[in-house]
A and B are shown apart, each in its own frame.
Chain A
Amino acid sequence: MTSILISSDDQQVGEDIAHRLAEREGYEYVGRSLLKDVAEKAEVSEEKLRWALDGTGGRKVSKKERDILLSYIQAETMERLARDNVVCADLVAHLYVRDVSHVLQLRVLANPEARLEAYAAQNNLSRKKAKKTLEKDRASRVRWSTESFGVSEYDPAIYDIVVQLKQIDADKVLQIIRDTAAFRGFQTMTYSRMCLQNLLLASKVRVALLPTYPEIRVKADGNRVIVHVKCSKRHKPQTVSGIKELAGNVETVGLVEVHVVSNLRDADVDAEPSPITNDE
């Protein structure tokens, strides 16, 4: 069954839709409460995990640490998503679960007027100042999402649907989700389930590697893992063997391929691996 990822420009709006969906359609709700489990498992503070997710915390969290914290969240979220029938909100899953057809990606935009008024009232700001602050927040989210995941949260092309809560209300959004989840193109297939498993494995390998090798990109294909790492020629041999050892210790990892690059942007991690002959 289709799983649903809900993103919103307003945290409360996104959570509200996700909760309603979970209640009415019998999905498992996965949200911010996950951070407690992540904090325990990874032995980090929940507050730092929140900073990493919200792009706040300033200098209290370095980029390296932020990436590590996000990797913990990503791995745990992927673990839940692999179960099917999940609605996930507020864990920025839309930024790292990409191109899995049975995971519906929805962005819900709050009514801009209502949001502006509410924000101004809550923060005791003039309309003009509130508007400026919200615009600043948006720019900051674009920056954060692009730096952390290589995509802007505000790019509509990363979602399946974007709905604005102006004339369409929350109930109708649920209807839209129900209708979309029923379309054949969003049904689970063996290949899409495999893609999700690949993303899960890659996320676990990232958790294992990031503390030692902060500049990596990881892709999994079955039990084969491909790691692109940025390092100098001088350190290549020990980097390659180090990565193979750490990645190899992750459960279900078989073959580990390591590619050393001078620029991670050149690493064509998204290229399909070369076709392997059939082994049926």
Chain B
Amino acid sequence: MAKILDVMIIDDEEIVCRRLKPAVEKMGCAVEAFLNPVEALERLGKKDFDIVVTDVRMDDIDGIQVLEEARKRSESTEVIIITGHAMMALAREAMQKGAFDFLSKPFKPNDLREIIIRAAEKLGHPLDYEIKG
């Protein structure tokens, strides 16, 4: 049986988590969503996630710190950065620190799905999911 990918979503905007969680679950992934990055990191300490999708601008901990922590805990975790305040300097920093991809908001769910499909392929667990529309 194909591995079910574990995906974590971190965004302090509830609407984002509310929309992205089912959108990624439809791909056959097991998804946990967090509004609080501190709690998300605590969870990362207890469980390995294959993919982490994180916002950047959050209270207490920003997405770059999440990226650094996630990669420190497991180098095989692929981190996707999403942000409504995209700037090339930030994007470069994220990539230099090991992000898999960087996506600016607003985006359509399929934009994120495409990236997750590629991340899954890189992890050696391709998803049996076809993007429609």
Contact = CB atoms under 8 A, between A and B. Distances in A.
**Are A and B direct contacts in the complex by CB distance below 8 Å?**
yes
Interface of A: 99-101, 183-185, 187, 189-192, 194-195, 272, 275-280
B107 A280 contact: yes
Nearest to A184: B95
Interface in B66-113: 84-88, 91-92, 95-96, 98-99, 101-109, 111-112
A191 B103 contact: yes
B98 A101 contact: no
B29 to A, nearest CB: 16
Contacts of B96: 183-185
B102 A190 contact: yes
Nearest to B105: A278
Contacts of A191: 86, 88, 91, 101-104
9 contacts: A184-B98, A192-B102, A194-B104, A195-B88, A275-B84, A279-B106, A279-B108, A280-B109, A280-B112
Interface residues of B, number: 30
A187 B109 CA distance: 23
A277 B88 contact: no
A279 B13 CA distance: 13
Contacts of B23: 280
Contacts, number: 65
A276 to B, nearest CB: 6
Contacts of B107: 280
A98 to B, nearest CB: 9
A190 B112 CA distance: 10
Contacts of B131: none
Interface stretch (B14-22, B41-49, B120-128): B14-22
A278 B95 contact: no
B24 to A, nearest CB: 11
Contacts of B108: 279-280
A192 B106 contact: no
B95 A280 contact: no
B117 to A, nearest CB: 12
A189 B85 contact: no
A280 B91 contact: no
B114 to A, nearest CB: 8
Nearest to B85: A275
Contacts of B106: 276-280
B38 interface: no
B58 interface: no
Contacts of A185: 92, 95-96
B15 to A, nearest CB: 7
A166 B60 CA distance: 50
A215 B102 CA distance: 34
